[in-house]
Amino acid sequence: MRLRGHGRADRSEVREHLAFLHGATVRIGGDLDLAHVVIALCETMVPRVADLAATYLYEAVLNEGDLPDTPEDAVLRQAAVADDERLRDGTLAGKVAVSDLTGPFASTVSSGQLVMWPDPGDGRDNVGCLLPAGWPGSLLVVPLRADERLLGFAVLLRAPERAGFDETDLLTATLMADQAALGVHKALLYQREARVADALQRSMLPKHPPRLPGVEIAYRYLPGNPAAQVGGDWFDAIPLPGSRVALVVGDVMGHGVRSAATMGQLRTAVRTLAALDPPPDQVLRHLDQLFDDTVGQSEEQYIATCVYCVYDPVARRCAIANAGHVPPAFVHPDGRTELMPVPSGVPLGVGNVAFRTVELAAPDGGLIALCTDGLVESRERDLTDGLTTLQQSLTLLEASPDDLCENVLRALHTDEREDDVALLIARFDGIPSASVANWILRPRPQAARHVRELVSTALAGWGLDEHIDAMELLATELVTNAIRYTTRPITLRLLRTETLLCEVSDDDHHLPVLCEPGDNDERGRGIYLVSRLSHRWGASHTTTGKAVWFELQL
């Protein structure tokens, strides 16, 4: 097509061609998926510019997502093709990889310049290995370049009955190829960032559910589809003192490396806070403050949602607080489902807000499901419908949490997802009352002797005689410390699961400090002994004071 002259028809032709260029440029440059970019290039070229268009890229671009160094023996692979029906036989459509380039293809690879065939100044008939010998039509080989490096080339063919390429065709092909090369380069950079973000996110997510008494846990994480950057979804199951467990699911708004890094900060903070064992609302309050002090100071503004649930298998209760997250679903032992009546709260990062802890019954056989909005909300499905489907897919009473995860993913068509998906399901089994012993002791000197009797009797009843001496010694040390600092009753609890737990609670808010006592020190030896002789120990604040605990391996 020649755009010359000044008549009305010529101006109309120019406007029409400019509209074509605009539409083609928008289409080619409007995607971050490499395959879509090169497909758009080929499809916009046919049939206006060529009867067949194909794009060839180096393997390093297609496989590793990196800019190639274009060695002489590098292999190019066909990435996209679009053709007219007249050219479907005996042409590029059947080729998938080439390494023995000759003719104009070799000229483009070696020079990085556009090559046209037949060239009026060149009498050669060989058009290279990509076409049948003696090809009678016309051909353009247009390089795809980024950062002075060749990504590959586009091949444009015209049938013999059509006029050869003219100057306008050359300019159009060059413009579209440059736009496609820019799009491919952007897609490569995007893929590189997405790989880093995905690796960062996966490295910070738990690999296997913890095995804990009284609860069975399963979870799934699915990244968004290839056209979407990795997001900030995360989940965790954190063992707490007293065989309790914290179940956490959160979502940092946004995508990319920064979102994944922010998720990592929050997950680390949650684990640190969980070790101190504050109520769920205080965990969220501290997270909100952290968000405001660190994440909120960056140039990019982020917010995050989170739900934090603590399950106590002895009390058979859940304590839950929510920061603007999708509400948890609960399945009762008889199969009834409901969304847990927890205040929705506001997301982390809003700042200066209060969160509320709600305590709910968690009977044996009950089940809780926590998820991110990528599971239950999409362009085709609103949140309400998604939550309804979630509840319906959880009603297989005999299924394990792991099987339920798969059933939920199938029911909500997660193969078609655009956003990340995080799902955590926990079934509550509780700890039998026969494995728990509780006593309330008056804070008197005689209590230490009484503790030894109580511990000895309880462990003998459980058939754990070999642990009586160690348990008597360490439990007495904790009770003696409590007597020193309180005037109100002390609670002693023994819990037998896969370990043997001893927990002493009192109304003093000062946590014990571990230090190595000197030869002449009269205090500090109790906690030192506990730390040296137990499998693990800890202390945390309670609503009425503190709880100090230790575990012995069974």
- List Cα–Cα distances, 180 to 45, 144, 149, 470, 494, in angstroms: 12, 7, 14, 73, 69
State whether residue 295 is helix, strand or coil. helix
Q: What is the pLDDT of residue 242?
A: 81
Least confident of 92-96, 385-389, 503-507: 92-96
| Cα–Cα dist 308/245, whole Å | 10
Per residue, the 3-state secondary structure of 510-533, as one string, reads: CCCCCCCCCCCCCCCHHHHHHHHH
Check: CB of residue 407 under 8 Å from CB of residue 393.
yes
Q: C-alpha dihedral over 492, 495, 496, 498, to 10 degrees?
A: -130
Alpha helical stretches, state H, 277-327:
280-293
Per residue in 309-338, pLDDT (tens digit) is 999 999 999 999 999 999 999 999 999 999
Q: How confident is the model at residue 517 (pLDDT cuts 50, 70, 90)?
A: low
Per residue in 152-184, pLDDT (tens digit) is 888 888 888 888 888 888 888 889 988 888 888
State whether residue 328 is helix, strand or coil. coil
Q: Which residues, other chains included, contact 438 with Cβ-Cβ below 8 Å and sequence gap of 6+? A: 491, 492, 493
Least confident of 83-92, 359-368, 454-463: 83-92
Per residue in 243-269, pLDDT (tens digit) is 899 999 998 876 666 776 777 788 888
Structure tokens at 295: 């994440």
Structure tokens at 195: 């790989």
Check: CB of residue 549 under 8 Å from CB of residue 538.
yes
Structure tokens at 339: 């969304």
* Cα dihedral 489, 490, 496, 498 sign: positive
| List of domains in the chain | 8-195 (3.30.450.40), 205-428 (3.60.40.10), 433-553 (3.30.565.10)
Check: CB of residue 334 under 8 Å from CB of residue 355.
no
pLDDT at 430 over 80: yes
Average pLDDT over residues 541-552: 86
> Closest Cα partner for 434 from 470, 473, 462, 400?
462
Q: What is the pLDDT of residue 147?
A: 75
Higher-pLDDT residue of 529 and 524 is 529
Check: CB of residue 436 under 8 Å from CB of residue 314.
yes
Check: CB of residue 156 under 8 Å from CB of residue 91.
no
- Single pTM value for the model: 0.67
Per residue in 363-391, pLDDT (tens digit) is 999 999 999 988 888 777 888 998 999 99
Check: CB of residue 478 under 8 Å from CB of residue 504.
yes
The residue with tokens 């309330």 is: 440
Q: How confident is the model at residue 440 (pLDDT cuts 50, 70, 90)?
A: very high
Q: How many other CB atoms are found less than 10 A from the CB of residue 473?
A: 15
- List, in sequence order, every beta strand (DSSP E) within 324-433: 329-331, 337-339, 358-361, 367-371, 421-428
Full DSSP string of 213-260: TTEEEEEEEEPPPTTS--EEEEEEEEE-GGG-EEEEEEEEEEESHHHH
DSSP 25: H
CA end-to-end span of the chain, whole Å? 86
Check: CB of residue 272 under 8 Å from CB of residue 300.
no
| Cα–Cα dist 504/437, whole Å | 12
Q: What is the pLDDT of residue 123?
A: 46
Instruction: Give the percent of the chain with pLDDT over 70.
Output: 79
Higher-pLDDT residue of 8 and 106 is 106
| Cα–Cα dist 278/163, whole Å | 79
Q: Is the peptide bond before 279 cis (omega within 30 degrees of 0)?
A: no
DSSP 327: P
